[in-house]
Structure 1
Amino acid sequence: MKNIIIIFTGGTISMKESETTHAAIPVMSGNDILKLTPGIDKIANIDFLNFGMFPGPHMTPEKMFELSNIIKDKVTLGGYDGVVITHGTDSLEETAYLVDLTYKQSNPVVFVGSMKNSSEFGWDGPRNLMDAVNTATADESYNRGVMVVMNNEIHAASQVTKTNTHTLDTFKSVDFGPIGFVDNNKVYFYYNYTKRQYIKTKHASSIVDIIKCGCGMNNRLINFCVSSGTNGLIIEGMGRGNVPPKMVSGIENALNKNIPVVLVSRCIKGKVLDDYGYEGAGRELREKGVILGDNLNSHKARIKLIIALGYTNRIHEIKDIFEKNYY
């Protein structure tokens, strides 16, 4: 059997309903969860590490980067064949993507969580964890980067997103679909997602902001972020990547201060392009120096910019990181 380490970080999979507040809180350690997952020791030789009991919103890029370094150490120094990470679903996709951008080993890394806590009927934690370990042990899982396994489906970390607040099938790769699935403890892959990047970053800092566009918005929020010390901006534009005209001066203000600005779309599918030429449209913004964020959603684009800024502060290099092989 292969040697797998499970790193427990918290999330709903570690939660029970409090007897006093009747609300779910993280209380179970990795050992507690493993005891409630019968048969997992028949899939692989399991070790575990308690990284923390963090609800999803309590994760930070700094913690994510620390976790990424632990994963690399467990593979390169610990000799593990694969790594499984349990995580709160609210920020699971962000942590998984940060690890994907900073991990270049071939051994499988799989993120997993649950939508129900252990006090609820139909707790999905044990089944999801079994599927994740099965995926981490599969020979076909090597050289696929970081994956997310939920609800029997396998997704590429760079593409998956949480789409529903409560359903078990909330995690979707809206542009390309899952890369595989787990059925009766067997792993099957549809295709190999090859559009991956590795960024040799030195650190991760949270001081990157997201601004979502709405009709009639102006430069006020952008200028506030610039004056209060932001290191970078993600603009979640409309459609193909267009903004209200009164926001343009704020974007120019950021660019003039050498602050990278990345443009994504508020649409749930598709990528931004510079094929509109009116005021505030993608063509004008790109000509001014705005970076196009491909099909990333705003919170993943933020993670990518955070990691890119840990590697370089040169705008042209950050632009290359985002737009290389774009067209």
Structure 2
Amino acid sequence: MKNTVVLISLGGTIASLPSSSGRAVAGALSGKELMDSLKIESDGPVEVITLCQKPSNAITIDDLLQLRTLCLELAQRTDVVGLVVSQGTDTLEDTAYFLDSTLELLDTALVVTGAQRVPYAAGSDAGPNLRDALKVARTASARSAGTLVVFNEEIHAASSVRKLSSYQLNGFGSPGLGPMGFVDGDEVMLSKRLLRSSVIAPGEKLPRVDIIPVAIDASPALLQAAVASGAKGLVIDAIGRGHVPPSWIEPLAAVLNAGVPVVIATSTQWGRVDEVYEYPGSLAEQVALGALKANHLNARKARLRLMCALSCNLPINQSILS
């Protein structure tokens, strides 16, 4: 009978304990200790696996690949109805999108959650978020919906969710699109779905891809330095509709001519990059040189997508970002 939810604990604020200094030690609790301390109850059996105990700034690409393998193995079990991944919020959207981009789980729900406040703090969201995530993971409508982020009683798609606050309980949202659904007490309402990009099965190792930020009169030296030091691809976190300073065009052309793929994303919270302007440094000029458009993905998600494509020798063209 498919009635078991597996909690995969990675650490983070949700699994914190206080240090002697009074600051939080993220990931100090194992998954079982977290469940026990929060006295989490569920409508069915919950199995707990502690994959690592880290603050989320310390999560590595190898951790993500190991997590993906574990999710695949667990989803093949006939008793597992859903998976919940708990981790720190700083890189939660990265983990969620990596799983969404690399896994096609047709009959198993996959939910990622965390907390903005440590579990021992007054008004902590650790317990409510974890309880809600377990509820969503048992919901039939969550299966085949891709990776979901459950936070502050909202359900978000991995491709659109962003961390919007460094500390408030409503820390995550989907700018421009809104949540896919809500958790209201014991009721889970998943009212819409987003079209997902095709799933990429990554190779054993993901190559290095760097993100280069754009600002007023920013130097293009980082483009050349990144490639010279070993980056196999670049994502430019551009301004507006996907623009860079005019001084970037010549170095960008050199990088592209050297065979290094470059993806252009927007640093705005919401909206696609688009070739609506024609001037030095415009997106149209970059695309004419061979750069790819991230479309709706932000730079961090586009980076993961490009890394996965490079790792399994997919053709690096616009289709991988569609």
Q: Same fold (TM over 0.5)?
A: yes
CA displacement at 1:314 relative to structure 2 = 3.6
Instruction: Give the match for residue 244 of structure 2.
Output: 243
Instruction: Give the match for residue 118 of structure 1.
Output: 119
Instruction: Give the match for residue 101 of structure 2.
Output: 101
The residue identity in structure 2 corresponding to 1:67 is: L
Does residue 194 in structure 1 map to residue 219 in structure 2? no
TM-score, normalised relative to structure 2? 0.95
CA displacement at 1:271 relative to structure 2 = 0.5
CA displacement at 1:275 relative to structure 2 = 1.7
Tell me the alpha carbon deviations over residues 34-62 of structure 1, each in whole angstroms, 9 at most, x when there is no partner.
Answer: 11333524x12111101011101001122
SS in 2 for 1:36: helix
Give yes or no for contact 1:131–1:152 (8 Å, CA) kept in 2: yes
Instruction: Give the match for residue 16 of structure 2.
Output: 15
Tell me the alpha carbon deviations over residues 52-104 of structure 1, each in whole angstroms, 9 at most, x when there is no partner.
Answer: 11101001122111101100110114641110010110001001100111110
Structure-2 change in CA distance of 1:263 and 1:84 (3 Å): same
Q: Whole-Å Cα distance in 2 between the matches of residues 78 and 254 of structure 1?
A: 49
**Percent of aligned pairs with the same residue?**
30
Instruction: Give the match for residue 287 of structure 1.
Output: 288
Q: Whole-Å Cα distance in 2 between the matches of residues 204 and 87 of structure 1?
A: 22
Q: Whole-Å Cα distance in 1 between the matches of residues 28 and 218 of structure 2?
A: 43
CA displacement at 1:186 relative to structure 2 = 1.3
The residue identity in structure 2 corresponding to 1:189 is: L
Give yes or no for contact 1:62–1:206 (8 Å, CA) kept in 2: no
Structure-2 change in CA distance of 1:305 and 1:76 (3 Å): same
1:154-303 matched pairs, under 5 angstroms? 154-205=155-206, 207-303=208-304
Structure-2 change in CA distance of 1:95 and 1:240 (3 Å): same
Tell me the alpha carbon deviations over residues 101-160 of structure 1, each in whole angstroms, 9 at most, x when there is no partner.
Answer: 111012110001000012311121111111000000011111100000010000001110
Q: Whole-Å Cα distance in 1 between the matches of residues 78 and 210 of structure 2?
A: 36
The residue identity in structure 2 corresponding to 1:123 is: S
Give yes or no for contact 2:310–2:316 (8 Å, CA) kept in 1: no
The residue identity in structure 1 corresponding to 2:159 is: S
SS in 2 for 1:268: coil
SS in 1 for 2:38: coil
The residue identity in structure 1 corresponding to 2:96 is: A
Instruction: Give the match for residue 312 of structure 2.
Output: 311
SS in 1 for 2:115: coil
CA displacement at 1:206 relative to structure 2 = 5.5
Instruction: Give the match for residue 46 of structure 1.
Output: 46
Give yes or no for contact 1:159–1:173 (8 Å, CA) kept in 2: yes
Q: Whole-Å Cα distance in 1 between the matches of residues 40 and 257 of structure 2?
A: 59
RMSD between superposed Cα atoms in Å: 1.4
The residue identity in structure 2 corresponding to 1:60 is: T
Tell me the alpha carbon deviations over residues 248-270 of structure 1, each in whole angstroms, 9 at most, x when there is no partner.
Answer: 12211211111110001111110
The residue identity in structure 2 corresponding to 1:147 is: L
SS in 2 for 1:89: coil
SS in 2 for 1:40: coil
Matched residues, number:
319
Q: Which structure 2 segments of 5+ residues have no match?
A: none
Give yes or no for contact 1:203–1:307 (8 Å, CA) kept in 2: no
Q: Whole-Å Cα distance in 2 between the matches of residues 27 and 237 of structure 1?
A: 37
Q: Whole-Å Cα distance in 1 between the matches of residues 211 and 193 of structure 2?
A: 31
Tell me the alpha carbon deviations over residues 168-218 of structure 1, each in whole angstroms, 9 at most, x when there is no partner.
Answer: 101011121100010112100121222332012213426110111111123
Q: Whole-Å Cα distance in 2 between the matches of residues 241 and 71 of structure 1?
A: 35
The residue identity in structure 2 corresponding to 1:103 is: L
Q: Which structure 1 segments of 5+ residues have no match?
A: none
Give yes or no for contact 2:38–2:119 (8 Å, CA) kept in 1: no
TM-score, normalised relative to structure 1? 0.94
Structure-2 change in CA distance of 1:78 and 1:23 (3 Å): farther
Instruction: Give the match for residue 30 of structure 2.
Output: 29
Does residue 321 in structure 1 map to residue 312 in structure 2? no
Instruction: Give the match for residue 59 of structure 2.
Output: 59
Does residue 153 in structure 1 map to residue 146 in structure 2? no
